[in-house]
Amino acid sequence: MSERQKNPAVKPQLPPNVLAKRALPWAMPILLLIVWQWSSSTGILPSRFLPSPRAVVSSFIELSASGELWTHVRVSSLRALSGFVVGGGIGLLLGLLTASFHWAEVLLDTTIQMVRNIPPLALIPLVILWFGIDESAKLFLVSLGVFFPVYINTFHGIRSVDRGLLEMGRTYGLSGWSLYREIILPGALPSILVGVRFSLGLMWVILIVAETISARSGIGYMTMNAREFMQTDVMVVGILLYAILGKLADLLAKGLERYWLRWNPAYQTAR
């Protein structure tokens, strides 16, 4: 085993077949990109339908140079994060409450499960009526959307904490808050983080729709605005930005998992 671990240090250059294996997943996207560029420049793919990759890149450079792009990115990220903090925070607290106290479960869980089955986006007409199209509308929708995954997974996590560990903790004199801090919370954490990852994905989906329908700034607004002027390149920049931001949020969640769950062999980084 130790021999094998030493191996990469002795031979830093990867053998060609390993290199090929690493490059292979990227072959398809690159090929698609080449075909896309080729069909755009030959005119098979009209630019009012889909811009060429080059047009997208130059539009990205133009938008970021003028600073317009960053304003929109900042506005959208702020909305997403504040919605996540509010909705996720309430979800975490209520999940802890209903899972820990039977009276809270009896009182709240049925209601929460009912509301859960309403898609947050179905509320858009009502939300526009209530809040207009200002920030609070977006905050409300994103918070509502991220609330449920965090709530459900927190509840499930607390409920599925190993009974044996709880029993052990009690025989070693833990009770109340110390039992909570030492055993219940860390035991529920893997499940809570699954909820966080789910809700980070949902966070962008809901924000995109909310911004597309009603906003005066943000990436969704930029994309919709570009549609009015048939600026397909700007539209594609907006769509790609969502992809990048979504990926960043996921990386962040993964990082948290790696740090907080480093005791768990399933989450350890392969070295």
Partner 1 sequence: MPVTCNSSEILAAEERCARGVSVAIKKVSIAFGGRTVLENFDIEIPAGEFVAIVGRSGCGKSTLLRSVAGLETPQAGSITLGAVPASNMKPDVRVMFQDSRLLPWRRVLPNVMIGLEPALMPQARKVLAQVGLAERVNDWPATLSGGQRQRVALARALVHDPNLLLLDEPLGSLDALTRIEMQQLIEDIWRSRGFTAMLVTHDVAEAISLADRVILIEGGRVALDEVVNIPRPRTRGGARFAALEERILGRVLQRRPVVEDVPGKDQW
Question: Which positions lie near partner 1, rule CB under 8 A?
Answer: 164-165, 167-169, 171-174, 182-183, 186-187, 189, 261-265
Picking from 39, 207, 188, 56, the residue whose alpha carbon sits closest to that of residue 120 is 207
DSSP 162-225: -HHHHHHHHHTT--HHHHIIIIIHHHHHHHHHHHHHHHHHHHHHHHHHHHHHS-SSSHHHHHHH
Report, in Å, the least distance between residue 230 CB and partner 1: 55
Which residues lie below 8 Å from residue 145, measured CB to CB, with a gap of 6+?
83, 87, 120, 199, 202, 203, 205, 206
Q: What's the chain's length in residues?
A: 271
Nearer to partner 1, 53 or 186 (CB): 186
Nearest approach, Cβ of 226 to partner 1 (angstroms)? 48
Q: Could you tell me the smallest distance in angstroms from the CB atom of residue 186 to partner 1? A: 4
Q: Which is nearer to partner 1, 53 or 187 (CB)?
A: 187
- Nearest distance in Å: CB 4, partner 1: 18
In the complex, what is the shortest distance from the CB of residue 84 to partner 1, in angstroms, rounded to a whole number?
A: 25
Which of 116/156 has CB closer to partner 1? Answer: 156
Of 42 and 171, which has the nearer Cβ to partner 1?
Answer: 171
Select 113 or 178, whichever has its Cβ closest to partner 1: 178
* Closest to partner 1 by CB, 131 or 180: 180
CA–CA separation, 77 and 220 (whole Å): 11
Shortest reach from residue 156's CB to partner 1, in Å: 18
